[in-house]
Amino acid sequence: MSDTIDNRRRMFTKRVIQEEFLKILKEKKLSKITVKEISAAAGINRGTFYYYYADPFQLYSEIENEFISQIMNYIKTDEEDISSWLGTLLHLLKDNQDMTIVVLADSTEGMLLDSVLNTVKNKTITSFIKKYPHSSSEERELFFTYFAQGSISVIKRWLLEFPYIPPDHIADVLINLLS
């Protein structure tokens, strides 16, 4: 019984550390965040932070890897039709709004956006081949760049300015832009 309580306490502590870290990360670059700052925001001492993480970079990496894993579970389906998985993906991004905003705001500090785009790229290019059978591979690469960068901008603006719009509606908007 005490193992269960101890495990719940550890999970709660890690969750609080991660949530407070993400709040700070919305305001500051990862390289500027200190353990002292995270600990104070989470209401823990620095020793507790170091029990779970070596530094803010390891914390970020763990959060990012968990988020990548969640996203990949949604988009690693055999379904190539974008409309079949985009709405579900947008629900996940909305549910993890803080992490999504951080990743989209500065994608240079992590691998998440690249991982997602590489997975989505194959499905999207396949869709473009069906939609534009006479297009060259170079044209499809350009189509993907346009679609990916435009989608990122739409998602970012949605989460920052219009978070009340349902994810399924945003999925419809993005799919209509492809049509």
Query: Tens digit of pLDDT for each residue in 102-160?
Result: 777 765 445 667 777 777 787 778 878 888 889 999 998 998 888 888 888 898 899 98
Domain 1-53, second-level architecture: Orthogonal Bundle (1.10)
User: How far is 153 from 147, CA to CA, in rounded Å?
Assistant: 10
Torsion of CA 162, 92, 156, 118, to 10 degrees: -160
CB atoms near residue 77 (< 10 Å): 12
CB atoms near residue 21 (< 10 Å): 24
- Tell me: the pLDDT tens digits for 18-59? 999 999 998 898 999 999 999 999 999 999 999 999 999 999
User: How far is 92 from 139, CA to CA, in rounded Å?
Assistant: 30
The model's pTM is 0.74
CB atoms near residue 4 (< 10 Å): 8
User: How far is 71 from 95, CA to CA, in rounded Å?
Assistant: 12
Residue 40 identity (one-letter amino acid):
A
CB atoms near residue 1 (< 10 Å): 5
Comparing C-alpha atoms, which of 115, 75, 71 is closest to residue 94?
71
Predicted pLDDT at 2: 62
* Strand (E) or helix (H) holding 139: helix 137-161
User: How far is 178 from 159, CA to CA, in rounded Å?
Assistant: 21
User: Do the beta carbons of residue 21 and residue 59 sit within 8 Å?
Assistant: yes
